[in-house]
Amino acid sequence: MKEILDAYAAGAIDVNGAREKLLRLFYEHGDEFQFDLHRHERLGFPEVVFAEGKSIEQILTISTMVLEKSPAVFVSHLLPEQEEALRTAFAHYRIETSSRFMAIGRPLENGEPGAVGIITAGTSDIPFARECGLILEYLGIRVLNSFDAGVAGIHRPFLTLAKMEDADVLIVFAGMEGALPTLIASVTDKPVIAVPTPIGYGVGGKGIGAMISMLQTCAPGVMVVNIGNTVGATAGAIRILRAIKRGRT
Amino acid sequence: MKEILDAYAAGAIDVNGAREKLLRLFYEHGDEFQFDLHRHERLGFPEVVFAEGKSIEQILTISTMVLEKSPAVFVSHLLPEQEEALRTAFAHYRIETSSRFMAIGRPLENGEPGAVGIITAGTSDIPFARECGLILEYLGIRVLNSFDAGVAGIHRPFLTLAKMEDADVLIVFAGMEGALPTLIASVTDKPVIAVPTPIGYGVGGKGIGAMISMLQTCAPGVMVVNIGNTVGATAGAIRILRAIKRGRT
Amino acid sequence: MKEILDAYAAGAIDVNGAREKLLRLFYEHGDEFQFDLHRHERLGFPEVVFAEGKSIEQILTISTMVLEKSPAVFVSHLLPEQEEALRTAFAHYRIETSSRFMAIGRPLENGEPGAVGIITAGTSDIPFARECGLILEYLGIRVLNSFDAGVAGIHRPFLTLAKMEDADVLIVFAGMEGALPTLIASVTDKPVIAVPTPIGYGVGGKGIGAMISMLQTCAPGVMVVNIGNTVGATAGAIRILRAIKRGRT
Amino acid sequence: MKEILDAYAAGAIDVNGAREKLLRLFYEHGDEFQFDLHRHERLGFPEVVFAEGKSIEQILTISTMVLEKSPAVFVSHLLPEQEEALRTAFAHYRIETSSRFMAIGRPLENGEPGAVGIITAGTSDIPFARECGLILEYLGIRVLNSFDAGVAGIHRPFLTLAKMEDADVLIVFAGMEGALPTLIASVTDKPVIAVPTPIGYGVGGKGIGAMISMLQTCAPGVMVVNIGNTVGATAGAIRILRAIKRGRT
Amino acid sequence: MKEILDAYAAGAIDVNGAREKLLRLFYEHGDEFQFDLHRHERLGFPEVVFAEGKSIEQILTISTMVLEKSPAVFVSHLLPEQEEALRTAFAHYRIETSSRFMAIGRPLENGEPGAVGIITAGTSDIPFARECGLILEYLGIRVLNSFDAGVAGIHRPFLTLAKMEDADVLIVFAGMEGALPTLIASVTDKPVIAVPTPIGYGVGGKGIGAMISMLQTCAPGVMVVNIGNTVGATAGAIRILRAIKRGRT
Amino acid sequence: MKEILDAYAAGAIDVNGAREKLLRLFYEHGDEFQFDLHRHERLGFPEVVFAEGKSIEQILTISTMVLEKSPAVFVSHLLPEQEEALRTAFAHYRIETSSRFMAIGRPLENGEPGAVGIITAGTSDIPFARECGLILEYLGIRVLNSFDAGVAGIHRPFLTLAKMEDADVLIVFAGMEGALPTLIASVTDKPVIAVPTPIGYGVGGKGIGAMISMLQTCAPGVMVVNIGNTVGATAGAIRILRAIKRGRT
Amino acid sequence: MKEILDAYAAGAIDVNGAREKLLRLFYEHGDEFQFDLHRHERLGFPEVVFAEGKSIEQILTISTMVLEKSPAVFVSHLLPEQEEALRTAFAHYRIETSSRFMAIGRPLENGEPGAVGIITAGTSDIPFARECGLILEYLGIRVLNSFDAGVAGIHRPFLTLAKMEDADVLIVFAGMEGALPTLIASVTDKPVIAVPTPIGYGVGGKGIGAMISMLQTCAPGVMVVNIGNTVGATAGAIRILRAIKRGRT
Amino acid sequence: MKEILDAYAAGAIDVNGAREKLLRLFYEHGDEFQFDLHRHERLGFPEVVFAEGKSIEQILTISTMVLEKSPAVFVSHLLPEQEEALRTAFAHYRIETSSRFMAIGRPLENGEPGAVGIITAGTSDIPFARECGLILEYLGIRVLNSFDAGVAGIHRPFLTLAKMEDADVLIVFAGMEGALPTLIASVTDKPVIAVPTPIGYGVGGKGIGAMISMLQTCAPGVMVVNIGNTVGATAGAIRILRAIKRGRT
């Protein structure tokens, strides 16, 4: 920018010329700048690569680019051959997986302060919960887990909440009738991010019932992301941790 | 039938003639017979008149016919002008209403033995619960009520169940996220009939969310009827009371 | 609990200390207690393991835990490799399967008194009906079967009902247009639990048509579970058998 | 056409000129011709005016045009003010109505030979059945009625079919679970046109359940039209009567 | 029946005994009778076996039973291993297939009089059209074909109709936007049975768009069956041929 | 901008100060600039005010603002009381309406060169077509109309196209089965913008069937806007006219 | 509790008696306790009364109860007659409304620390935004507003964010294509709660499109509540403010 | 035609004979004519073969026919074995593929004048964009590409538009929340054709969310084709290029 301003000051360009150059600079610079720090610097969250529909080459290229700027790259909705290629290409990094999700990189030691509580209604929800856990772990954020806290045993939410005492924000996974986030949110005032999981069959199966149930919750303040959107839930939790950190200062 | 058999015995008709007459007799008789005792005698449940789309004349005619054979007639989905006409025509009967539902007749004193528990999640569900209550009251069946037992207060289901100790079967109403029948069914082994109510708005509104939630329940053995189908739920409960009565003998 | 009470009586703890210990005891004990007897003792129904989305290890662990407390464990929505692992691990138990469902254990001789009638509209519904039959058989409950009683032959429901004379409750399976439960319920006053099966294609296929048809039934008192939810239907029937048993005493 | 041919024969126009003129003639003539006789001559069925979204002027103009060429005009989905305007404008014709449908004209005495059977499952379906009846009556076609033949009384379809002996084709109306056409079609080999009516509420309400049920029928050869499409059903029946008439000759 | 009547005439049984025996006889006989002649005698149409969800044993048993009473058995929605088993078991019959459909038997020479026109919009619809053709051919009914008559070429429907001059009833297949039956029905007064095919993708794909388009047709009298329901369309056409035959006599 | 550049050149601010000021300038200026000329200058299209959910005050304020910069303001989805208020407030402008749409302003004499053809399938589509016509007329763009060109008369599209010879782009309205744009697009290579209208009832009613049909079209290059979105269709046509104008130069 | 413990210590009751009394005590006490402080104490949020389906008496009773314990009561989905009754009954309180929503009470001066940013895409979203604003104002929480920040003017989100610098959490309202929360969340790392509003018509109308768009967002961490669920969004924001407050200490 | 005219002139046939011959000639000739030049001559677009549901023979036959008349044939929705057969059969042509799409032929050097801009929101959309690119390249039309211009980086649309300066029409691909076409259309007045891609999962997945978002756009004049309908979008763009070419002359 200084160059343009100096060129104008020196009379080498006129106002219109300066305007055009500044505009171009602004957007292009903004774009580059955004690419550099994008996601991890700005949102506390590196790019997550959605693998479905991408070629292996695309995935490797993007992942390499992300890893240059971020402590880790996360790849979701992987196919087996894509997974294989990533394992080979990034063998020198720590790699962790949960079903179709892969975390690659060098985990941070101290990320955002605070802790995220991860709760599942059933055991079938655990792979989704682990995706959240991996992202948070690689980003150096403390995780508290309580799995299989489901509604069917009505006392279990209380035990779960006891384990969650240190959590600043809760991510609650449930499939089928998806009632757990409602129960949790009715007995705590912590932020609750509800994630429907694609568990269940028939009418309302594949997470539709859980999704609708969470949107219709009678407990005030349940916030919902799409079915199986572990990345969105984790990013939402990190936004809240950042708001807490900012609030502290 | 004796006539036909005798005519055959007397040679007045041959096998084919007898066959034809018997066939006609059978179906027509069956049909008449069915009309006489239909619903209340056979199913313990008189005809319920679905008013929407019927003329006032049709409703009055059908109601009169039902009242000749049953202690009461129940009319659902009434429009105001239909309600008015019924009030006038049946002024000499006891009439009770709940929103668009009307019970007309002379309540039985002793209907099926046993008791039906009626539970609602919220106060908006009460008009639906009252429809069940009116039907059962007119049919001489004992009713136990526990309204506003909703999930948001997680201890309330226990208190509700304490009140339901004498109930043989439970009808549970819920709108919105519809989680209450799941909670109730996870702490009792009594038959639970779940009725979604058209409470709620947005995605899953008008009872769709509650319906799907009840079908996706993780508690085993929740039985569901359509949104707002109080008649179906009550008839289902009476079927169970009759099974209990039959089991006793 | 006695220890806490005695400690208080002995003055070793004060009211607040007692309160905290009792609270913790209550929930934890409740939770443990619930685990011990859960489902089979309380609901007459052991845990059913939904295999989809669970690892083989999870399934084996849960199944072993259930078998320690219940006469049988039922595993639904099995994948072939999961089935293989279960067969190997539980080779010393009696194992029965119906498509993706497996019953493992030592069948009870005398379970709940009474009998459950199982009716299917077509032959394609039979695998679903067999799931019900297996659960009931392992739990020592009498089963009456009438398969292929479909609507297309309008007399068949009468023959079916004749076979069902001893049944206390009927479970009726139908796919496609799902009309059979309506027909059955219009000629009997027994409790009717309708189970849509995922038979059919095109608009309303995969059981959607049958489900909607059952919810829209013009016969009073048909109670519905989700498409293919044999476990829910069986548990509902057992709840009714228990209500009958309780009513007897 | 003769003129063009003669002009060509006379050398007044060349091949290209003839081609262009013929093309224009063909389409324009075709269009005019089609307008003249359209619907009633060709399809045995006059134009039916769909009133919703049309101005009163449009409806009066179109109706007048149809009445010049046909024995009757039928107007569907009428609003009260449209109905009023039609009554005034066509006071010298015979006018019959059924809810939002109006038939105006001079009924034919002898229309297509043969008879159409009209069957309804319930009394709420009768206004729809009457629309069919009015169209057929004005077109001089014999009608056989059997109303309230519903599934709930399982013998009733047989009685209904006895009344339908003379019918060449059956139009069967049903709302709610829509099972009647399936039952009828399973005991007769006559053509069955099924019409879902918008009766019912909750999931599958407003005729959706009946529609899906009819499309999923297990009885072979049930032919379906849209919910409440009485005009389509009647026109379908007339096509079949015409096929029979053509087959006779 | 004669035995019962004679026993009564002989005084061996009283009226009640006769009633019970007759009732049982009626239904059982009805059922057997129905089985004997069912479908082909009564509906002009043998049983069609829906293979999906049936075991190979069930399919072979049912097919054998049907072949004893009918000229052919038709099996739809076949899996490869089911197809293989049928080919082996019925190697001595003529076997024809079209994708997942199989016709087995000895084609009739002279079935119902009259002819069925089969029209497809595109080439992708042809396998469905061939299913109709095979059923009609085995049942000895004349078929007229006109494939690929689609809307995109607006003149083609006229050529198609010229080929269809001898047809008594038309079956029109279309996927995607499903407009062809509307065009055909607007230029002929023959009965038109529309069959949506599962061609197309995205919104309205898999035949949904075609189905809805056919139900919304602005041409009067288009009759619709479910997506890909070739059996239903053929049975509907045969019902109409039978109505024509009956009308002739 | 010159001021900032000069301030920098004069050393009154440093690079960072200049950056901040430029950034703020850019966005705010951009925003103001955009407001001034927005829509009509840039997109050839003034703001269209969506009245539903807006207060009368909001509508009057926005309309006044738009009229200061544009030849006309268009208000859609008007309620009667909103319409009344607009009529009063803008009595000195030319006002035209079509059902719930209002055009207010001083029509341009010469807008974009070229012509837009407006075609409707039926008479019920005309109010929607008139909305397009009004917008184009106020913006000084030539309009060619051909109403009621529906599919049911298969020759009519040819006549319609003859009238459309001068049109550069066609907007085609259809409700019900929505086939007209497909027919039109199969016989012309002009751009075709298809607009579903909310005509029709039952399955696929309210324009859903027409929408899906248009998206599933077998004619290549039909471009679709939402149901009843006359504004979008008109704006799309104007974009094309502008592309033609630009192409000319 | 002390009484029970003392009774046990005194030997007046045994262990079983103590257990039973404690259990009853625990739940009832818990329930009462929960009632007292429920919502406002525990969740920082008083009860919100959903008026639809409730009688005026119910609404007045509940509102009075809430006002005894909370600074304000909020009533949503009001009908005009309900609104009137509330105005009369609570005339001595400050009352504010936004369309069908009413806030009644004595606004707190200092509620949760921190600020909530409220952003709308268009002017039609403002009534929804005002509901949030009223709740927050009554609860003594600082609000920052930026209305009409819509996507169509692509620079506007930047200006909006400048105004939001002090906000700890953002609530973003959008109807139609619902893209604004995605844009906002891609340029800030603050928590973003997205609220679809029922603006729009045709396919995806009434907020469905906005809802789906928000769930499908490509910006990480957008948290969604149901269409028009201003209460849920506000409660979610308050949960986050409380997490910040807790994080501070 | 000359023959017929001459025969008439010579008196060899009369008017009726001429009429019949002309009619037949017209349609058949029209049909042949249409076949010859169809699509490429008339619509600037050769036939695109939809491979799904077609046999390899059908595909080869149709492709050969198209290649005789057009510079290229395009085959979409290919299965691997179909692809293999095409590669073998047309080995002497230039063949290019993009996932399930294949272009075969001899690319034109100079097709329609003008340029088409192709923009994608993400990298997963690229295979769809390439289908458009291949079609345009084979037809000799200039293409401008800008991939991965997604909303998440809010400046990117400006850079993209800078690259698109020469484009006459823009095709914009987006999956997930599908916001990009709205952003693009709000800053350019060029025609924008929006193509939803089947990217995304959960509610609104497989392109449904993107489709609905594009239909609900708040930017005026976005024109939409079905999910993944690259052929339709390209054909639409070519229609616009032809309109520009026609406008030039």
> Which DSSP string corresponds to B163-178?
HTTT-SEEEEEE-TT-
- For chain E, say whether H153 makes contact (Cβ under 8 Å): no
Taking the CA of residue C2 and the nearest CA in chain G, the distance in Å comes to: 6
- For chain C, say whether A159 makes contact (Cβ under 8 Å): yes
In E127-214, beta strands by DSSP E: 142-146, 169-174, 192-196
Taking the CA of residue F164 and the nearest CA in chain A, the distance in Å comes to: 43
Residue A28, pLDDT above cutoff 60: no
- If you average pLDDT over every residue of chain C, what do you get? 87
Instruction: Quickly state the pLDDT bin for C4 (edges 50, 70, 90).
Output: confident
Q: What is the pairing mode between strands G192-196 and G222-224?
A: parallel
Nearest alpha carbon to residue A90 among A80, A102, A108, A76:
A102
Mean pLDDT of C85-98: 96
Using the CB atoms, write b or e for E168-180: b if 16+ within 10 Å: bbbbbbbbbbbbb
pLDDT at H26: 53
Q: Which residue has the higher pLDDT, F52 or D196?
A: D196
Residue A40, pLDDT above cutoff 80: no
Q: Is B104 helix (H, G, I), strand (E, B) or coil?
A: strand
- For chain E, say whether D239 makes contact (Cβ under 8 Å): yes
Instruction: Quickly state the pLDDT bin for D41 (edges 50, 70, 90).
Output: low
Minimum mean pLDDT among A39-43, C141-145, F15-19, H16-20: which range?
A: A39-43
- For chain E, say whether D244 makes contact (Cβ under 8 Å): yes
pLDDT at F151: 64
Question: Token pair for residue B64?
Answer: 């009169």
Name every chain D residue with its beta carbon within 8 A of the beta carbon of C200.
Answer: 216
pLDDT at E29: 43
Would the CB atoms of A1 and F9 count as touching at under 8 Å? no
Taking the CA of residue F59 and the nearest CA in chain G, the distance in Å comes to: 10
Question: Token pair for residue H107?
Answer: 């690319």
d(CA F18, CA D67): 80
Q: Residues D84-115: pLDDT tens digits?
A: 999 999 999 999 999 899 999 999 988 899 99
Taking CA–CA distances from B51, the nearest residue in chain D reads D124
pLDDT at B243: 96
Q: Residues D118-152: pLDDT tens digits?
A: 999 988 999 999 999 999 999 999 999 999 887 66
Phi, psi of D17, rounded to the nearest 5 degrees: -60, -45
pLDDT at E37: 41
pLDDT at H73: 94
Name every chain G residue with its beta carbon within 8 A of the beta carbon of A248.
Answer: 244, 247-248
Q: Residues E5-61: pLDDT tens digits?
A: 888 888 888 887 787 676 666 544 444 333 334 456 667 787 789 998 888 998 999
pLDDT at H36: 37
Q: Residues E181-218: pLDDT tens digits?
A: 999 998 899 999 999 999 999 999 999 999 999 999 99
Taking CA–CA distances from A235, the nearest residue in chain G reads G221
Count of D–H CB contacts within 8 Å? 29
Instruction: Quickly state the pLDDT bin for D40 (edges 50, 70, 90).
Output: low
CA angle F65, F66, F67 (to 5 degrees): 95
Nearest alpha carbon to residue B179 among G76, G42, C54, A194:
A194
Instruction: Quickly state the pLDDT bin for C40 (edges 50, 70, 90).
Output: low
d(CA H132, CA H117): 10
Question: Token pair for residue H45?
Answer: 């677009």
Question: Token pair for residue D103?
Answer: 């038939």
Taking CA–CA distances from A208, the nearest residue in chain B reads B212
Q: Which residue has the higher pLDDT, D142 or D249?
A: D142
Neighbours of H187 (CB within 10 A): 18
Q: Residues A95-153: pLDDT tens digits?
A: 999 989 999 999 998 888 999 999 999 889 999 999 999 999 999 999 999 998 876 65
- Determine the longest span between alpha carbons in chain C, in angstroms: 78
Chains with at least 3 CB pairs less than 8 angstroms from chain B: A, C, D, E, G
Q: Which residue has the higher pLDDT, G25 or B85?
A: B85
Mutation for testing the H interface, residue in E123, E151, E176 having most H CBs under 10 Å: E123
Q: Is H249 helix (H, G, I), strand (E, B) or coil?
A: coil
d(CA D119, CA D157): 10
Q: Residues C41-77: pLDDT tens digits?
A: 667 787 789 998 888 998 999 899 889 878 899 999 9
pLDDT at G30: 42
Mean pLDDT of B103-109: 94
Name every chain A residue with its beta carbon within 8 A of the beta carbon of C229.
Answer: 202
- If you average pLDDT over every residue of chain D, what do you get? 87
pLDDT at A103: 96
Name every chain A residue with its beta carbon within 8 A of the beta carbon of F8.
Answer: 5, 8-9
Would the CB atoms of D225 and E224 count as touching at under 8 Å? yes
Name every chain G residue with its beta carbon within 8 A of the beta carbon of B122.
Answer: 50
d(CA G199, CA G207): 6
The CA-atom distances, in angstroms, between G67 and each of C196, G103, G112, G232 are: 48, 11, 19, 20
Mean pLDDT of E131-153: 89
Minimum mean pLDDT among C28-32, C108-112, F164-168: which range?
A: C28-32
The CA-atom distances, in angstroms, between E148 and each of E121, E123, E172, G226 are: 5, 5, 11, 47
pLDDT at E119: 96
pLDDT at A66: 87
Close Cβ partners of C172 (under 8 Å, ≥ 6 residues apart):
C119, C120, C121, C180, C181, C184, C192, C193, C194, C195
Would the CB atoms of E203 and H208 count as touching at under 8 Å? yes
Minimum mean pLDDT among A159-163, B239-243, C134-138: which range?
A: A159-163
- For chain E, say whether D220 makes contact (Cβ under 8 Å): yes
- For chain D, say whether F37 makes contact (Cβ under 8 Å): no
Stretches in chain F below the pLDDT threshold 50:
27-38
Of G45, G193, G244, the CB nearest to A223: G193
- For chain B, say whether G224 makes contact (Cβ under 8 Å): no
Displacement of CA H202 from its chain's centroid (Å): 29
Close Cβ partners of G159 (under 8 Å, ≥ 6 residues apart):
F27, F28, F31, G146, G149
**Contact of B224 with B171, CB cutoff 8 Å:** no
pLDDT at D4: 82
- For chain H, say whether E204 makes contact (Cβ under 8 Å): yes
Mean pLDDT of A225-237: 97
The DSSP call for residue H12 is S
Question: Token pair for residue F198?
Answer: 């909310």
Of D224, D234, D235, the CB nearest to E224: D224
Would the CB atoms of G208 and B203 count as touching at under 8 Å? yes
Instruction: Quickly state the pLDDT bin for B94 (edges 50, 70, 90).
Output: very high
Nearest alpha carbon to residue C221 among H44, B14, B137, B132:
B132
Count of D–F CB contacts within 8 Å? 46
**Contact of D119 with D183, CB cutoff 8 Å:** no
Does an interface of 3+ CB pairs under 8 Å exist between B and F? no
- CB half-sphere exposure, B206, CA atoms < 13 A: 7
The CA-atom distances, in angstroms, between D133 and each of B56, D122, D188, D230, F65 are: 22, 16, 22, 9, 58
Phi, psi of H195, rounded to the nearest 5 degrees: -120, 110
Residue C25, pLDDT above cutoff 70: no
Virtual CA dihedral for H59, H60, H62, H65, nearest 10 degrees? 170
Of E224, E232, E246, the CB nearest to D221: E232
Neighbours of E27 (CB within 10 A): 17
Name every chain A residue with its beta carbon within 8 A of the beta carbon of H177.
Answer: none
Minimum mean pLDDT among D123-127, E149-153, H1-5: which range?
A: E149-153
- If you average pLDDT over every residue of chain H, what do you get? 87
Minimum mean pLDDT among D65-79, E80-94, G214-228, H32-46: which range?
A: H32-46
**Contact of A220 with G240, CB cutoff 8 Å:** no
Mean pLDDT of A159-163: 80
**Contact of D33 with D40, CB cutoff 8 Å:** no
Residue B29, pLDDT above cutoff 50: no
Chains with at least 3 CB pairs less than 8 angstroms from chain D: B, C, E, F, H
Please report the ipTM that was assigned to this predicted complex.
0.87
- For chain B, say whether G58 makes contact (Cβ under 8 Å): yes
Would the CB atoms of A221 and G243 count as touching at under 8 Å? no
- CB half-sphere exposure, G152, CA atoms < 13 A: 25
CA angle F209, F214, F220 (to 5 degrees): 160
Instruction: Quickly state the pLDDT bin for B15 (edges 50, 70, 90).
Output: confident
Q: Residues D61-81: pLDDT tens digits?
A: 989 988 987 889 999 999 999
Burial of G32 (0-12, 13-18, 19+ CB in 10 A): exposed
Q: In this structure, which amino acid lies at residue G44?
A: G
Q: In this structure, which amino acid lies at residue A232?
A: G
List all residues of chain F from 63 to 82 with a beta carbon under 8 Å from chain E.
none
Residue D27, pLDDT above cutoff 80: no
d(CA C4, CA G15): 10
- For chain B, say whether C149 makes contact (Cβ under 8 Å): no
> Which DSSP string corresponds to C122-187?
SGGGHHHHHHHHHHHHHTT-EEEEE----TTSTTHHHHHHHHTTT-SEEEEEE-TT--HHHHHHHH
Minimum mean pLDDT among B146-160, C16-30, G207-221, H143-157: which range?
A: C16-30
- For chain F, say whether E153 makes contact (Cβ under 8 Å): yes
Return per-residue pLDDT of chain G as tens, 249 residues.
788 888 888 888 888 778 767 766 654 444 433 333 445 666 778 878 999 888 899 899 989 988 987 889 999 999 999 999 999 999 999 999 998 999 999 999 888 899 999 999 988 999 999 999 999 999 999 999 999 887 665 566 767 887 898 999 999 999 999 999 999 998 899 999 999 999 999 999 999 999 999 999 999 999 999 999 999 999 999 999 999 999 877
- For chain D, say whether E189 makes contact (Cβ under 8 Å): yes
- For chain D, say whether F165 makes contact (Cβ under 8 Å): no
- For chain H, say whether F183 makes contact (Cβ under 8 Å): no
Instruction: Quickly state the pLDDT bin for A222 (edges 50, 70, 90).
Output: very high
Taking CA–CA distances from C204, the nearest residue in chain D reads D212
Residue C176, pLDDT above cutoff 50: yes
